[in-house]
Amino acid sequence: MLIDKRMLISGVIMIVVGFTISWYLAESAPIGKANMTDDEKLNLILAERENSDFRLLSGILFGFGFLLILISFGARKKRKGGAKKIEKKPSE
């Protein structure tokens, strides 16, 4: 086979998990309101920062999954009976 199935499957799983987490974080983004106190503003800024950081991590997970899929197409096990290197003796 030309592909490594375990790497391909793990890459697809990482992409699905990364996409799902990104979608969830985009849907549950913190929203401010009018007439907020200073504490509420600070908590909103911290929640936005935390949401942004988690979106970055889910993007990295998505990227690693994509990288694993690409690597899986080139990573195959070498066979024992493969082509052997033949060295020719130089002519004298």
For the chain, what is the domain count?
A: 1
Q: Tell me which residue range forms the domain holding 57.
A: 5-74
89 or 67, greater pLDDT: 67
Distance separating alpha carbons of residues 24 and 15, to the nearest angstrom: 14
Residue 56: inside a domain? yes
Residue 87: inside a domain? no
* Summary mean pLDDT of the chain: 86
Share of the chain above pLDDT 70, in %: 86
Q: Which tens digit of pLDDT belongs to each residue from 49-71? A: 999 999 999 999 999 999 999 88
Residue 79: inside a domain? no
Residue 81: inside a domain? no
Q: Give the 3-state secondary structure of residue 13.
A: helix
Residue 91: inside a domain? no
Residue 62: inside a domain? yes
| pLDDT mean over 3-21 | 89
Cα dist from 34 to 14, 27, 38, 40, 42, whole Å: 39, 21, 12, 11, 14
Residue 69: inside a domain? yes
